[in-house]
Homo-oligomer: A and B are copies of this chain.
Amino acid sequence: MASRSGYRPPKIPEMTVHRLSVYTRCLLQLEEDGVKTVSSQELAERFDLNSAQVRKDLAYFGEFGVRGIGYYVSGLKAELQKILGLDREWPVALVGFGNLGSALFHYRGFSRQGFRIVAVFDDDPGKATREVDSVPIFPSRDLAREVRARGIQIAILAVPPEAAQTVTDRLVAAGIRALLNFAPARLRVPRDVRLKNVDLSIELETLSFYLAKGSR
């Protein structure tokens, strides 16, 4: 296992990070089922993964397998959670509380992984200065103050596209280090801020491409 102190990670492909999340979910499932150890082959077969890929992805972070045994399910799960930063709680800001913002607020997956929405921002006067499930809703002019006061590093953007860049600039100025953007807008951020865009209609277009191909 990789020791914490001497650990110097190489440059990790984003797809590897993505797959670590998938592996973690598989290991959680195995743990629930009472499975104690698993080989990369068993893992691959059961969850429709590629066993060589599993070994290669894990090799970036250390030697987790034990000869003749495979991986200890709970041990590997805990290591991956640590690597993914899921061994702690991340306070998250949600900006925009329309239909999508509201759905994201209630999305069960976030809090299960340690992402806790601690502040919501929305300029609808009916929503601002109120709260939802004990989480306060602020007008966006309070962004900087609240982000700093609550030590928030991650923000989820669910605002209309025309407001997205302005809100992003404010978040960056307030010290946000990572942004998950749902607005259909291409945002500019400084190099040291991580931006991840989720464009829901692009996902649908990948599907229609393949369907249209058959009829061209």
CB atoms of A202 and B21 under 8 A apart? yes
Q: Which of A122-130, A139-147, A164-172, A191-199 contacts B (4 or more CB under 8 A)?
A: A191-199
Known A-B contacts A100-B107, A204-B113; A209 and B47 likewise in contact (beta carbons under 8 Å) = no
Cβ–Cβ < 8 Å partners of A216 in chain B: 4, 7, 9
Chain A 203-216, CB-CB to B under 8 Å as 1, else 0, gives 11111111111001
Known A-B contacts A180-B204, A202-B22, A204-B180; A153 and B102 likewise in contact (beta carbons under 8 Å) = no
Q: Which of A17, A110, A112, A208 has the largest number of chain B CB atoms within 10 A?
A: A208
Instruction: Decide yes or no whether A136 CB sits under 8 A from chain B.
Output: no
CB atoms of A198 and B201 under 8 A apart? no
Chain A 179-199, CB-CB to B under 8 Å as 1, else 0, gives 110001010100000101011
Cβ contact of A177, chosen from B14, B25, B196, B211, cutoff 8 A = B211
Instruction: Decide yes or no whether A103 CB sits under 8 A from chain B.
Output: yes
Cβ–Cβ < 8 Å partners of A7 in chain B: 216
Known A-B contacts A103-B100, A201-B109, A201-B112; A207 and B184 likewise in contact (beta carbons under 8 Å) = no
Interface size on A, residues (CB 8 A): 64
Known A-B contacts A22-B202, A206-B17, A206-B196; A211 and B85 likewise in contact (beta carbons under 8 Å) = yes
CB atoms of A109 and B200 under 8 A apart? yes
A interface list, Cβ under 8 A from B:
4, 7, 9, 12, 14, 17-18, 20-22, 25, 47-48, 82-86, 88, 90, 92, 99-100, 102-104, 106-110, 112-115, 153-154, 156, 177-180, 184, 186, 188, 194, 196, 198-213, 216
Cβ–Cβ < 8 Å partners of A106 in chain B: 99-100
Q: Which of A14, A21, A106 has the largest number of chain B CB atoms within 10 A?
A: A21
